[in-house]
Structure 1
Amino acid sequence: MSEIWSYLSRGELVWLTATLVAYLCGDWAFRASGRSPLVNPVLVAVLILSGVLMVTGTSYPTYFEGAQFVHFMLGPATVALALPLWAHRGRVARVLVPMAAALLVGSVVAMGSALALGWGLGLPMDVLVSLAPKSATAPVAIGITEELGGLPNLTAVLVILTGIIGAIIVTPLLNGLGFTDYRARGFAVGVAAHGIGTARAFQVNEVAGTFSGIGMGLNAVLTAVLAPVVVRLFL
């Protein structure tokens, strides 16, 4: 059996299928919980896949070699967010100025707070660099880290954790703070928690999801521009 599994585990279809099945399990658990933010589908899928990799003794590079098609689809999925943006273009045009201000503050705070905390804890510079783009979408964040000399694998983990935490806490947090404007709610989660947060925003409200997609896209661009400047402040 071990020889059979060793052969199968090298097949690309095995890990792509495992990824899709794990997410379907996560989505089922999310629906069964009454859409509780604590039962995030991505978090459940990560836990399932982590357990499978540990039990089977499969390395992450082997898994990623088979599941990289999902990573490739991040690009088209991000572009597809333009469809709801076009549908709500009138609402977007009316709030361009406050969106620009919120984007600048949110992006700088996301990077600066992570770097300040890491610097205060005495983390090495390559780890600090890896922290900086954690709120940008994964392909952009990894590219920024590579350019700045950080650890891309660490950045990938931090991006996922940031998105999952954001998706879990965003609804109860914003409800508790009394924010009722779905444009503001969505934009905030998109800037702070990128694609995973955006998926959660769409589950709550289409307008929130649209503005979250805008926030995610704009923050990716702004982070790429500002990250080198912000990182230099901690050199």
Structure 2
Amino acid sequence: MTDFADIWSYLSREPLIWLTTTLAAYAVGDACFRAANRAPIVNPVLIAVILLGSLLWLTGTPYATYFAGAQFVHFLLGPATVALAVPLALNIHRLQRALLPVIAALLAGSLAAMASALAIAKAFGADHALLATLAPKSVTAPVAIGISDSLGGSPTLTAVLVILTGITGAVIATPLLNLLRLKDWRARGFATGTASHGIGTARAFQVNPVAGAFAGLGMALNAILTALLAPWVLGFF
């Protein structure tokens, strides 16, 4: 046991170990997802988060140490987000035919995401800092962190809430939209991307390419609109 502890103490200081561990955790999550016939509840990101969180807790590894090694994955979020423009460009004719519904859905989705979270938190006695932290929870992480910081919230807690929101959306979106008998892939995708940003968008692409393209659009537009409206909406609470 002592030998293992010594070996781990050495390995944990090497950045490559955390990048490898992150990729391995996601590979395990993806394998479970496929084995479960792509059931939404078996979300690969959720499984990877649980595995990595458990490992960090068991080994007593600070998050800063982990992030120093795994930050290359974080860097790739930027190019991956920009790449979402490709499927959207391929579906631009569908967007042009649904421009007004998209604008209406964007306004409704963005305002509902912020107002519902703030109203519930306010009812439980949350202070201004916590409300500012919650407001951008449905926005992709880099933008949400910036919004939270500018409003006086906690960027670190906002990042956690963003991940939880994304995972929740990815898990419940398909069953909920099926229950609502919503069959238009544009509407399904846009709703998922607006409510649960990148993680929800990834799930939408797994279900249907048109849904994925519109989910990417919803994620991008909601980030812009939330940045503009969050101070105003927060002012009501």
Using the size of structure 1 for normalisation, the TM-score is 0.97
Unaligned stretches of 5+ residues in structure 1: none
- Matched with 1:20 is 23
Deviation string for 1:49-84 (max 9, x for gaps)? 011111111111111111111111111110000010
- Match for 1:155 among 151, 158, 167? 158
CA–CA distance in 2 between the matches of 1:19 and 1:125? Answer: 35
Query: Is residue 194 of structure 1 aligned with residue 197 of structure 2?
Result: yes
- Matched with 1:117 is 120
Query: Is residue 141 of structure 1 aligned with residue 144 of structure 2?
Result: yes
Aligned residue pairs: how many? 234
Deviation string for 1:14-63 (max 9, x for gaps)? 11111111001100000000000000000000011011111111111111
- Matched with 1:227 is 230
Question: What amino acid is aligned across from residue 150 of structure 2 in structure 1?
Answer: E
Question: What amino acid is aligned across from residue 225 of structure 2 in structure 1?
Answer: L
CA–CA distance in 2 between the matches of 1:3 and 1:125? Answer: 46
- Matched with 1:41 is 44
- Match for 2:174 among 171, 176, 193? 171
Question: What amino acid is aligned across from residue 141 of structure 1 in structure 2?
Answer: A
- Matched with 2:83 is 80
Question: What amino acid is aligned across from residue 60 of structure 2 in structure 1?
Answer: G
CA–CA distance in 2 between the matches of 1:159 and 1:88? Answer: 27
Deviation, structure 1 residue 6: 2.1
Query: Is residue 207 of structure 1 aligned with residue 210 of structure 2?
Result: yes
Deviation, structure 1 residue 208: 0.4
Unaligned stretches of 5+ residues in structure 2: none
Deviation, structure 1 residue 153: 1.0
- Matched with 2:59 is 56
- Cα RMSD of the aligned pairs, angstroms, is 0.9
Using the size of structure 2 for normalisation, the TM-score is 0.97
CA–CA distance in 2 between the matches of 1:9 and 1:190? Answer: 36
CA–CA distance in 1 between the matches of 2:233 and 2:6? Answer: 50
Identity %: 64
- Matched with 1:185 is 188
Question: What amino acid is aligned across from residue 228 of structure 2 in structure 1?
Answer: V
Deviation string for 1:77-111 (max 9, x for gaps)? 10000010111111111111110011011001100
Deviation, structure 1 residue 4: 3.1
